[in-house]
């Protein structure tokens, strides 16, 4: 299907818009910018969800910047801190699999609603790794503990982000379950019913 810029009647809604990377990416962590982007780009919820994913990942990076300037203060055992971070990481890897429900294919709105719910569950558990390591940095851990936990959290978030490959895997799963809906098209242009 030929796309004409600005002509939404002939746009191929099942085509993945990709990631909107560039210098504006750094602005996503400023309070209010993501909300402004949501209003301005309300026509593409998939692109907005990717912006949300990137803002969570950038927040982990930006939380580590001031920590790198703090003087080292090792009050507790590094092994206990590492064990705690790895324990939380294990929970963050396993718990979403137990909690998550299959994507609901009854309608486009149900499909994107269930996808968003799953996305935010995954983000919350991945973020918990970084938050626990952030607290450990101040309470009892070595000065580098945040970078271990933050790195694990970033890897987990990046591996669960709505990348084109992840959307293809989810689409394959939907197709195997007998769902004829396009996940990308449901995000970009949901049809009623």
Cβ atoms of 63 and 149 within 8 Å: the answer is no
Distance set, CA 131 to CA 59, 90, 92, 142, 179 (Å)? 11, 15, 12, 15, 37
**Chain-centre distance for alpha carbon 56:** 7
Q: Please check the confidence at residue 11 and state whether its pLDDT lies above 80.
A: no
How many CA within 13 A on the CB side of residue 178? 1
Share of the chain above pLDDT 70, in %: 73
DSSP 3-state of 79 = helix
Q: Which percentage of the chain shows pLDDT scores above 90?
A: 38
Q: Are 112 and 45 in contact (CB under 8 A)?
A: yes
Residue 18, helix vs strand vs coil: coil
pLDDT tens digits along 29-68: 666 666 666 666 555 788 888 888 888 998 899 889 888 8
pLDDT score for 138: 83
Which pLDDT score is estimated for 7? Answer: 42
At 156 the pLDDT is 94
The predicted-structure confidence for 146-175, as pLDDT tens digits, reads as follows 999 999 999 999 998 998 888 999 999 999
pTM: 0.78
> What is the per-residue pLDDT across 124-136, written as a single tens digit (0 to 9) for each?
999 999 999 999 9
């Amino acid at each position: 299907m030929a796309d004409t810029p600005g002509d939404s009647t002939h746009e191929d809604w099942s085509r993945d818009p990709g990631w909107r990377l560039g210098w504006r990416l750094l602005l996503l962590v400023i309070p209010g910018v993501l909300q402004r982007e949501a209003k301005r780009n309300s026509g593409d919820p998939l692109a907005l969800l990717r912006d949300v994913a990137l803002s969570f990942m950038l927040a982990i990076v930006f939380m580590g910047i001031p920590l790198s300037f703090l003087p080292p203060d090792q009050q507790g055992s590094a092994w206990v801190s590492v064990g705690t971070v790895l324990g939380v990481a294990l929970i963050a890897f396993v718990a979403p699999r137990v909690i998550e429900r299959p994507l609901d294919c009854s309608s486009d709105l149900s499909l994107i609603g269930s996808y968003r719910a799953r996305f935010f569950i995954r983000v919350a558990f991945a973020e918990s790794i970084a938050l626990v390591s952030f607290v450990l940095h101040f309470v009892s851990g070595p000065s580098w503990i945040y970078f271990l936990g933050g790195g694990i959290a970033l890897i987990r978030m990046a591996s669960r982000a709505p990348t084109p490959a992840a959307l293809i895997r989810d689409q394959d799963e939907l197709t195997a379950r007998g769902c004829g809906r396009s996940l990308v098209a449901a995000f970009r242009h949901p049809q009623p019913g």
